[in-house]
Structure 1
Amino acid sequence: MIHLWTALALVVIAGALIVIRSFRPAPLPAPEPWTGPLPAASPPAGMALYQLPTGTYENRAALAYRGGSFGDLRKFAATAVLVRHPAGDLLIDAGFGADVEAHIATMPSYRRSPHDLGATVRDQLRDRNYDPARLRGVVITHAHWDHVSGLAELDVPIWMNAAESRYVERAKDASVFRDVARGHEIHHYTFDGPPYLGFPASHDVHGDGSVVIAEAGGHTDGSVVVFVTLPGGGRFAFIGDLTWQCEGVTLRAERPKLLRMLADVEPSQVRDGLLRVIALSGRMHVVPAHDVHAYDPIPEWTAGSYSGV
């Protein structure tokens, strides 16, 4: 008979080996590339995108995707995106706010990362004399702290679907959202549109196909992908945290199993969403929320770059 302590040691060793293996490269099966037509869109003249970086935090590539190096210490983006549209502008996520130190302090110690705070979205809008009446609200890809911290300084509606509303009522990881959303109007949108590029349902914000929110639960209950089509045909997919870095798409590398268990409410749904995005990546520019280089094709909002519509 195996001694109890020997059995426990074997269990611990086996668990450690499983964890170690989960960090090794293991590309997902390659999905068939999307070869069908892309959904019709009629983006109006004057529509544009701008990135509003609000800061970064540090993390290891090995913790972001399978096959990443523990020696690769990266800056993870906390960037909002301004979608300018004649019918009213939207922000995608809100980045870091002025109280980000307090928001990070709400996290367990093992999840607190060194970070750099830049100008908040509110300050960037104000410094460029942006008319706040143009802003219809903030579409959050999901309600985790590093996507919503900046909401505290923005007096605009928060766009949220029913599944994410349920998530923020119960989830510990939504405590920062519950704090910063206090007093905000919540704009409840529904997925009243058809399946969109493989995702099960959609919401066309302006009715012209230029900004479409697609249901992509799994990271949180109501996490979404926001598809944007610009005049001239450029297309973007803002995928939130389906993957944290571009290698999730280019290498078909999901998060290590331990991180999937910690980060995702339904890892299998995240995998399905990631595979859909991989299939689309040859047809549009995919933007994982925390990859600083994914924002490179999107101009920063500098003096003189925004003239209004």
Structure 2
Amino acid sequence: MSLLPQPSTWSGPLPEASPPSDMAVYQLPTGTYETRAAFAFKGGSFRDKRRFAATAVLVRHPNGDLLIDAGFGSDLETHIRSLPRMQRAPHQLTSTVSEQLESSGYDQDRLAGVLVTHAHWDHVSGIGDLQAPIWINEGELQYARNARGAQVFRDVSAGHEIHEYGFDGPSYLGFPSSFDVHGDGSVVVALAGGHTNGSVVVFVTEPTGKRYAFIGDLTWQLDGIRRRVERPLLMRALADTDPKRVRESLLRVVAVAGAVQVVPAHDVTAYDGIPLLPV
């Protein structure tokens, strides 16, 4: 099995961040679906079943809260039926983001929007249950409007306000440009691209100094980071618009993995340590 080259470990200072003391990060797991490790990363075993997470992340901030992705929604069965048969997998819906927010007594007027890492169905299904704006960059919006793999996004985004943002900030942990959501370094979005046209990594810094990198689908499992391996060739061809860009971004994340908690969107174990929303 060929490994990706070992990048130089990030040795520079970490970017400045001044998150407010009342900022907080929560995971909102909405369900899982099954796949084989052999389809998830090079060298994975066909006998190794993996539960792929469909988890949203709520970042509470006094300037306005954001969801990173939206997980499974109440119309999940319809969304899955819209997929090609080969993409359908055994799945389990637990509780939607909207249901979890409601049961916790959360005031959804605080929600500034859903910042999507990319527009694939398993990241946006839950948007249909929410009234919040959708935060998306120009490249991903173009993909979402035209790509066959973004039909669910087109369905659930109907009637939603689109909040388009750009990358006018400096390089960030090896990524060429960035967008500082609140201007305090607490939530910084970097363009990764390659999985879809405008797929992103969202870096979050807590008041404690703890840092996260929510990397979407640069890799589906932490094995991609720990083993320095890509998706299998067939899955790269099916899933990625530009595998070379995915590889470059993946290596940038590998380089900083010692300084941040890397969270591939579909690795259940990657969310360890992030609390659930209190009820």
TM-score normalised by structure 1 residue count: 0.89
Deviations 1:233-285 (A, max 9, x none): 10000000000000000000110011000000000000000000000000110
CA distance, structure 1, for counterparts of residue 140 and residue 177 of structure 2: 15
RMSD: 0.6
Q: Could you tell me which residue of structure 1 aligns to residue 32 of structure 2?
A: 56
Unaligned 5+ segments in structure 1 are: 1-24, 304-309
Partner letter of residue 109 of structure 1?
R
Q: Give runs of aligned pairs for residues 107-126 of structure 1, distance below 5 A.
A: 107-126=83-102
Q: Which one of 288, 294, 307 corresponds to residue 264 of structure 2?
A: 288
Q: Which residue of 2 aligns with 1:156?
A: 132
1:7-46 superposed matches below 5 A: 25-46=1-22
Q: Where do 4+ consecutive residues of structure 1 move more than 2 Å?
A: none
TM-score, normalised via structure 2 length:
0.99
Query: C-alpha separation between the residues in 2 aligned to 1:150 and 1:261?
Result: 27
In 1, the alpha carbon distance for the partners of 2:87 and 2:246 equals 21
Q: State the partner residue of 1:248.
A: 224
Following the alignment from structure 1 to structure 2, what is the Cα–Cα distance between the partners of residues 136 and 127? Answer: 19
| Whole-angstrom CA distance in 2 between matches of 1:102 and 1:294 | 28
The answer as to whether partners of 1:26 and 1:67 remain within 8 angstroms in 2 is no
Picking from 191, 209, 212, the partner of 2:167 is 191
CA distance in 2, matches of 1:132, 1:301: 14
Moved more, 235-244 or 123-132: 123-132
Question: What letter matches 2:43 in structure 1?
Answer: G
Residue of structure 1 in register with 2:45 after alignment: 69
Which one has the bigger strand percentage? 2
Correspondence 1:173 to 2:149? yes
| 1:201 maps to 2:177 | yes
Give distance in 1, aligned partners of 2:233 and 2:177: 28
Q: Does 1:96 align with 2:72?
A: yes
Instruction: Classify the secondary structure of the residue corresponding to 1:239.
Output: strand
CA contact (8 A) 1:78 1:289 kept: yes
**SS of the counterpart of 2:144?**
helix
1:302 CA displacement: 3.0
Q: Deviations over 1:176-195 (max 9, x none)?
A: 00000000000011111111
CA offsets per residue over residues 118-163 of structure 1, 9 Å max, x none? 1100000011110111110000000000000000000000001000
- Structure 2: give runs of 5+ residues left out of the alignment: none
1:276 pairs with 2:241: no
SS in 1 for 2:86: helix
Match of 1:212 in 2: 188
Q: Whole-Å Cα distance in 2 between the matches of residues 232 and 177 of structure 1?
A: 35
Could you say which residue in structure 1 is the equivalent of 2:277?
301
Of 230, 234, 238, 2:214 maps to: 238
Match of 1:105 in 2: 81
C-alpha distance in 2 between matches for 1:116 and 1:169: 28
